[in-house]
Copies of this chain bind each other. A is one copy, B any other.
Amino acid sequence: MSKAIILLSGGLDSATCLAIASKQGHECYTISFDYGQKCALEIKHAKQISKSMNAKRHETVKISIGNLVSSALTSKSIDVPKYSNSGEIPTTYVPARNTIFLSIALGWAEVLNADSIYIGVSNVDYSGYPDCRPEFISAFQNLIRLATKSGVDNKSIKLETPIISLNKAETIKLGNSIGVDYSLTISCYSVDNEGRACGVCDSCALRRKGFLEAFLPDPTRYI
């Protein structure tokens, strides 16, 4: 049985990726990151999602980059902004985040002898982060070949982005059709103490719109 690593944030997109990887017949290994984000709750959700979809193993990797990278997702002094479609990269951008996450997943993939890494980036409904674009994914795929012992041995690890061309509604419809329980997922950048979503940040706005357009009930608990 081929092995796949799935980057799991606890959100809607990565949960859908896990379901897809599982449906495609992989033995699934999920990985989450504690990088000093305000919403530490998302790691708890990632664990629950991983368990509910029978992943073989879940790992949380701590990275102490809180001192180095500032973002509205990590710094108390920067408020999470409301949704805007200005085209500007928002303050929720965490510098080099996907590069860091994929690098660590790559190390694990080599050790496990996994043949793929799944990441839930979308180039349609997203916040304009540079490291969600198809050209970034292609560049990382090229790097994988050169960075690894398996690449030297001509055994490539494939970077899979199954929802890159889907908008949020399409992702939700696909996930719903293969059994994703979206009530376990959390997308909000600014959850309150009781785990309720703010409803107004970028991530909530895209999620709400997605469920509306998919004509499916939104199981999110909003404030």
Q: Name A residues whose Cβ lies closer than 8 Å to a Cβ of B.
A: 59, 61-65, 67-70, 89, 93-100, 102-104, 106-108, 110-111, 130-131, 133, 135-136, 139-140, 142-143, 145-149, 151-152
B147 & A136 in contact (Cβ 8 Å cutoff): yes
A68 & B146 in contact (Cβ 8 Å cutoff): no
User: How far, in angstroms, from A147 to B99 measured CA to CA in the complex?
Assistant: 7
B106 & A148 in contact (Cβ 8 Å cutoff): no
CB distance from A177 to the nearest CB of B (A): 32
From B64, B89, B110, B146, give the contact of A95 (CB < 8 A): B110
User: How far, in angstroms, from A151 to B135 measured CA to CA in the complex?
Assistant: 12
User: How far, in angstroms, from A151 to B99 measured CA to CA in the complex?
Assistant: 14
- Which of chain B's residues have a CB closer than 8 A to the CB of A143? 99, 136, 139-140, 142-143
- Which of chain B's residues have a CB closer than 8 A to the CB of A107? 65, 68-69, 94-97, 99-100
Specify the main secondary structure of chain A where it touches its partner.
helix
B139 & A111 in contact (Cβ 8 Å cutoff): no
A99 & B103 in contact (Cβ 8 Å cutoff): yes
- Which of chain B's residues have a CB closer than 8 A to the CB of A135? 146
- Which of chain B's residues have a CB closer than 8 A to the CB of A131? 146-148
Considering the complex of A and B, which 9 residue pairs feature the smallest CB-CB distances, nearest first?
A96-B107, A95-B110, A95-B107, A68-B108, A99-B103, A100-B103, A96-B106, A62-B64, A103-B103
- Which of chain B's residues have a CB closer than 8 A to the CB of A130? 146-149, 151-152
A96 & B110 in contact (Cβ 8 Å cutoff): yes
- 24 A-B pairs (CB sep. < 8 Å): A62-B63, A63-B63, A63-B104, A65-B104, A68-B104, A69-B107, A70-B111, A89-B152, A93-B149, A95-B107, A95-B110, A95-B148, A96-B107, A96-B110, A99-B103, A99-B107, A99-B143, A99-B147, A102-B103, A130-B146, A130-B148, A131-B147, A135-B146, A139-B139
B95 & A99 in contact (Cβ 8 Å cutoff): no
